[in-house]
Structure 1
Amino acid sequence: MGMKLRRTVASTAASVLGLTLLAACGGGSDDESGNNGSGNAAVAGEKGGTLKVLQHFPYEAADPQRIYYGVQLAWYRRLIYRGLLAFPMSEDGEVATTPVPDLATDTGTSSEGGKVWSFTLKDGVKWEDGSDITCEDVQYGTSRVFANDLITGGPNYTLSYIDVEDYPGPYKATPEQQAAYEEAVSCDGKTITFRFNKPWADFPQAVAGMMMTDPYKEEFDEGAKSQWKVLSNGPYKVEGGEWSKNQGATLVRNENYDPATDDPEALRLALPEQIDYQIDPSDTAGELFNDRLIQDAADVKNAITTARVAPTQFPQITGPVEDRYVNVLSPYNQYLSPNFNNEVMQDVNVRRALAMSLNLNGYVKALGGEVAAAPAETIVNPGVSGSTENPAFAEDNNNDGDPDAARALLEESGVDMPVEISLAYPTSPTADKAMAVVQEGWKAAGFDVTLEPQGDTYYDVISRPDDEFDITWGGWGADWPSAMTVIPPLFDSRPNFSPTTCGQNYGCYQSDEFEALVDEAANASDVDAQVESLVEADAKLGEDVAYIPLDVSKFNWLYGSEVTGFTTTAASSSYPEIGLIGVQQ
């Protein structure tokens, strides 16, 4: 997601680098429990009571096909929208990233080398209005993604996979176009079959992680006007039926949800009787929420929050407060991109010298130390299948940087020294300090580094083929726990390049050898073969120094003293696992 795919909750990239707000799927933890070993995370909750959710940013929609925030995908899946598959609430990372059936009877049947997938709906699954969820509802929900002039903002992977051409979605399709779509996504009783134009080995992970194929009731749909309407099929429904963008909603029991059709222990305990979802989008809300939680004030004893603890608040996490504090790896990796369109960056030895002399330990310390981030040895987050240390960055590397060896490499390669380069990043007080550490290490290696801090406009600037920066900062989180949602979106030139942009490939990198490995992964008929090709592709990126890994950011969470079962999982995007959380009675 230039942190764009599984979208950040931050309004600017600066807040990401400044360690205030992030969201995504995947991620890891400091221990198997997904928390820091303190607090009441292991305390089993009882049904009843009211849970308060304090949120410091608005969502962009409550319509399932438009949802792209990581925390919203994770929490809505537990509370109001069930899909064909889901990720379980296990504190074991591997289990939590392995899809299990939800509305479907199993995790799908694949044929034709991964180009065809079929799922059968369970009996007895219903909407909140008491009507049955049908195969046609899944077919219709999937079709809405194609109407990207009306159903905007959500993920659209299905558009490039479903074997249909020139389909505008259900609102504007001719009878012939609709018939072609319904041949590609077909119903036979309760069985839905997806036909793709190429293999989709990790389709079950995409189904579990996104809402692109979630059911939607055609009679309920008002197109663009459905942005905030909610028709639940989960354990809770929105009181009044409509989400308020800047205020939130009250969630109450959905009387037409039948836990017998579900696996509550794995997917959603649904402990609170009511959930008061309160949104305050003001600039200071997040810090104020955590100030109240540090105090364990009376009005937040039953509360959790989406607001991360700010670095300035870390010194207050002492004594009893530590029992209500969790520190975990997030699903986000940060990295640097050399600009291959700029002459100085076209010399591989220059790029290698930059990687070699990077003082990564100093950079992480400037971000706030081990509570804020951990050094990364690859761009693929630890919570993603096939995450492997990239040999180009992990071998013989203590992360302190070796400016003497880097200087020797530059001298041997015959470049004019000092090598003048510019480094762009989204500015914040924390980011400015961290980038000064990078600048100092590179200066010792023989570089003359000009820092170029940027304001609110960032990703649209660094994606231009003619931007003047030699190195740019970026961050990314996987849409689902597959490297196919990391490596190709960031470095495959073919979907990214146009005359006016390099897309998410911010360094404008292109390699036929790398893209052949991407194609090999894309055409793999099983996930293991796909992972093997992507590990090779990442090694090729390291060999070319197409990126320089920086860090995996960390999440820091506080919660009220009456909250039970607090933990994080890979399935919850390293946010609080709301499906396990209850309130003391």
Structure 2
Amino acid sequence: MFTYRKRVLAATAAIALAGGLAACGGSDSSSEGEAGGGPTSSATGGTLNYLIFAPIEHVDPQRIYVGRDITNFSRTVYRQLVTFPISTDPKVSNTPVADLATDTGTSTDGGKVWSFTVKDGVKWEDGKAITCEDFKYGASRVFATDVITGGPNYLLSYLDIPTDDKTGLPAYDGPYKGDGQDLFDKAITCDGNTITYHFNKPWPDFPLAIAALHMMDPYRQDKDNGDKSNFQIFSNGPYKLDGAWSKNKGATLVRNENYDDKTDDPENIRRALPDSIVFNIGQTTETIYDQLIADTGDAQTAVTSQRIPAPYYNQIEGAVADRATLEASPYVDYIVPNFRNMPDPKVRDALKVATNAQAWIDAGGGEKAFAPAESIVNPAVVGYQDNPAFSGPQEGDPAAAKKLLEEAGVTMPYPITFTYPSTETADKQAAALKETWDAAGFDTTLDGLGDTYYDVIQKPDKDSDVIWGGWGSDWPSAITVTPPLFDSRPNLTSNSDGQDYGAYKSDAFNKLVDQAANASTLEDQTAALQQADIQLGQDVAYIPLEIAQFYFLHGSKVTNFTTTPASSSFPDLGAIGVES
């Protein structure tokens, strides 16, 4: 039978980082190498195949913002000041350890100042040393919001740089334009190998942010081509890119001869067991699982980020089931109304009331695929609470929704376009939502996208009225859920909506975000974030659909198959190898 690993959370698990608290997620059963019944081995060699359906839209470290990709690249080509180790024990996997830095950092001024010293002997793939200035330049790229788009933007709110009164953005606009460079140079300083960050408010869990994201990664200025760097990889890890990265086809990683594992922890961070890793992009989920179930050829040495499709569940039995895992994920799937196109709160409320989340779940495979959600915040996050705005029936209420549309005085049927990433299963789920929406008085056009997704929904001029999204906390705090998704100030620019796909803008919500960000205790921060989520529910800034379940299958020659909190419950490439 498949192994069931439940991802649980210690409500107030403490990590000793300048007195800060961080919550941890993890499993309550399988140990490393046991998940899915695969073999264990420390042998090196062979080729691991990673099968992915949708294109990876960013490999630029400052732009990567998908949990799977963050860890895949952390284990292979990009190293950080600190990182998360390989472990299924949540207390271990969510505690940062030194990587390119000599330790996990020193904090002063109540968490407003953090310093790290870069190790001696760490190198780029061309053999040149990684310097403090490389880390400083990497951080500067985040501020070029017109060029480096799509990535995490916490630095815009935290780094001690004044805000421009006209734009609401920091007065520094990144290395390409260079306006406000003197302000940036005061906020991040280098003294030999020591880099120091100055923040405008406490950031007690800053090492968690570094370990969880790539926004603070080093970047060599002479290798920066701005937007054209989006599919370039200049490695400092155990692997490097062989040839070019193809957005729609993938690429192969091979060993980096200038990587020195003596500067790393090859047992607990990057075992680097395969000689090469092939990212194979573009096959449908169904095609991937036809190969994995047959378990022949390259599929024997393959893992995937695609979940087992519901129509294939009855094939996961016998020896095939021994290679399967089922685990609750840290991700919540949701939809957002586009506030530019749907400004009337009664129309948004009607959309919420008409949404049949249970039909979406059933069409997607039922309980092996999804669990019900009553907030955009995952229940594993500290301070989670059900959002009262979404306490109604999961099946929706078309009659009540139609009454709200009538009260709004809009012409019916009310046309809406629903944009989502298209797969065979997602198309069925979208059709299930359409049925109830149309019964409530909407006229729904389904807009399933295949070749690209986030690049489209982040455009301010998109035609979408309702937009699908999926999110997991960047680290286990709601400060990494609702603010990055709905704080309009760092998100909404002339070129991009960032993660605020519905262009939500609320002074009341932003005030609560500021209150949480400046809180001196976890309790005060949590209380402000809970109120912020209530505000979002009242405004119908989002509608939760479900919590994704991860049901995976891997090839029979894959060794040490492991999913960890550090890998967002996807396969952890730091541990996995193959039988040669």
Query: TM-score, length-normalised on structure 1?
Result: 0.76
Report deviation, 1:441. 5.9
Equivalent residue, structure 2, for 1:567 = 562
**1:141-179 alpha-carbon deviations (Å, 9 max, x no partner):** 2234445666565444434443346545446649xx655
Distance in 2 (alpha carbons) for counterparts of 1:254 and 1:463:
40
AA aligned opposite 2:255: V
- Once the two structures are superposed, the pairs formed by residues 73-472 of structure 1 within 5 Å of their partners are 73-93=70-90, 95-147=92-144, 154-164=151-161, 166-167=171-172, 169-170=174-175, 173=178, 178-218=181-221, 230-239=233-242, 243=245, 246=249, 248-252=251-255, 254=257, 256-259=259-262, 261-272=263-274, 274-281=275-282, 284=283, 286-337=285-336, 345-347=344-346, 351=349, 359-382=356-379, 384-394=381-391, 399-400=394-395, 424-426=417-419, 430-431=425-426, 433-435=428-430, 437-438=432-433, 447-456=440-449, 469=465, 472=466
* Cα shift at 1:379: 0.5
Residue identity opposite 2:219 in structure 1: Y
Amino acid at match of 2:573: I
Q: Does 1:514 align with 2:517?
A: no
Checking the alignment, whether the CA contact within 8 Å between 1:36 and 1:326 is kept in structure 2 is no
Letter in 2 for 1:547: Y
- Alpha-carbon separation, structure 1, partners of 2:267 and 2:462: 53
The aligned counterpart of 1:480 is 474
Partner AA of 2:530 in structure 1: V
Amino acid at match of 1:326: T
Partner of 2:574: 579
In the alignment, residue 86 of structure 2 is paired with which amino acid?
M
Structure 2 CA distance, aligned partners of 1:380 and 1:426? 22
Asked whether the 8 Å contact 1:233–1:257 carries over to 2, the reply is: no
- Alignment correspondent of 2:530: 535
Deviations 1:466-496 (A, max 9, x none): 9795xx2421314712433431243345555
1:340–1:318: structure 2 CA closer, same or farther, 3 Å change rule? same
Q: Provide the C-alpha distance between the structure 1 equivalents of 2:134 and 2:151, rounded to a whole number of angstroms.
A: 18
Hey, what's the Cα distance between the residues in 2 that align with 1:566 and 1:466?
40
Q: Indicate conservation of the 8 Å contact 1:307/1:557, yes or no.
A: yes
Match of 2:46 in 1: 50
SS at match of 1:248: strand
CA distance in 2, matches of 1:453, 1:244: 28
Report if aligned partners of 1:117, 1:193 keep a CA contact under 8 Å in 2: yes
Instruction: Report the CA distance shift for 1:580/1:152 in structure 2 as closer, same or farther (over 3 A).
Output: same
Partner residue of 2:12?
none
Stretches of structure 1 lacking an aligned partner (at least 5 in a row): 1-25
Report if aligned partners of 1:32, 1:91 keep a CA contact under 8 Å in 2.
Answer: no
Tell me the equivalent position of 1:554: 549
User: Match for 1:563: what amino acid?
Assistant: V
Distance change >3 Å, CA 401–CA 418, structure 1 → 2: farther
Change in CA separation of 1:181 and 1:526 when aligned onto 2, cut-off 3 Å: same
Shift of 1:126: 3.6
Q: Quick one: structure 1 residues 222 and 563, their matched pair in 2 at CA, closer, same or farther if it must change by over 3 Å?
A: same
Alpha-carbon contact 1:564-1:581 (below 8 Å) kept:
yes
Contact 2:149 2:496 in 1 (8 A): no
> Which residue is 2:6 aligned to?
none
- CA distances 1:127-147 after superposition (whole Å, capped 9, x unpaired): 445544332222232234445
Give the number of equivalent residue pairs.
Answer: 541
- In the alignment, is the contact (CA less than 8 A) between 1:127 and 1:257 conserved in 2? no
Q: Distance in 1 between matches of 2:494 and 2:288?
A: 45
User: CA–CA distance in 1 between the matches of 2:435 and 2:227?
Assistant: 51
Residues 250 and 416 (structure 1), Cα distance of their counterparts in 2 relative to 1, 3 Å cut: closer
C-alpha displacement of 1:267? 2.0
Following superposition, the deviation at residue 289 of structure 1 comes to 3.3
1:6 corresponds to which residue? none
Aligned-residue RMSD, C-alpha: 4.3
Percent identical: 47
> C-alpha displacement at 1:368, in angstroms?
1.7
Find the aligned partners of 1:150 and 1:418 in 2 and give their Cα distance.
Answer: 40
Say if 1:62 and 1:449 are closer, same or farther in 2 by CA, change over 3 A: closer
The structural deviation recorded for 1:292 is 1.8
Deviation at residue 506 of structure 1 after TM alignment:
5.5
TM-score (norm 2): 0.77
Aligned partner (choices 65, 68, 87) of residue 71 of structure 1 = 68
* C-alpha distance in structure 1 between counterparts of 2:231 and 2:458, whole Å: 33
Q: Cα distance, 1:319 vs. partner?
A: 1.9
TM-superposed deviation, 1:255: 5.3
CA contact (8 A) 1:87 1:98 kept: yes
Q: Aligned letter for 1:50?
A: G
Judged with a 3 Å threshold, the aligned counterparts in structure 2 of structure 1 residues 244 and 203 are, in CA distance, closer, same or farther, namely same
Q: Distance in 1 between matches of 2:103 and 2:211?
A: 12
Letter in 2 for 1:325: A
The 1-side partners of 2:194 and 2:96 are apart by 18
Task: Compute the displacement of 1:186 (Å).
Answer: 0.5
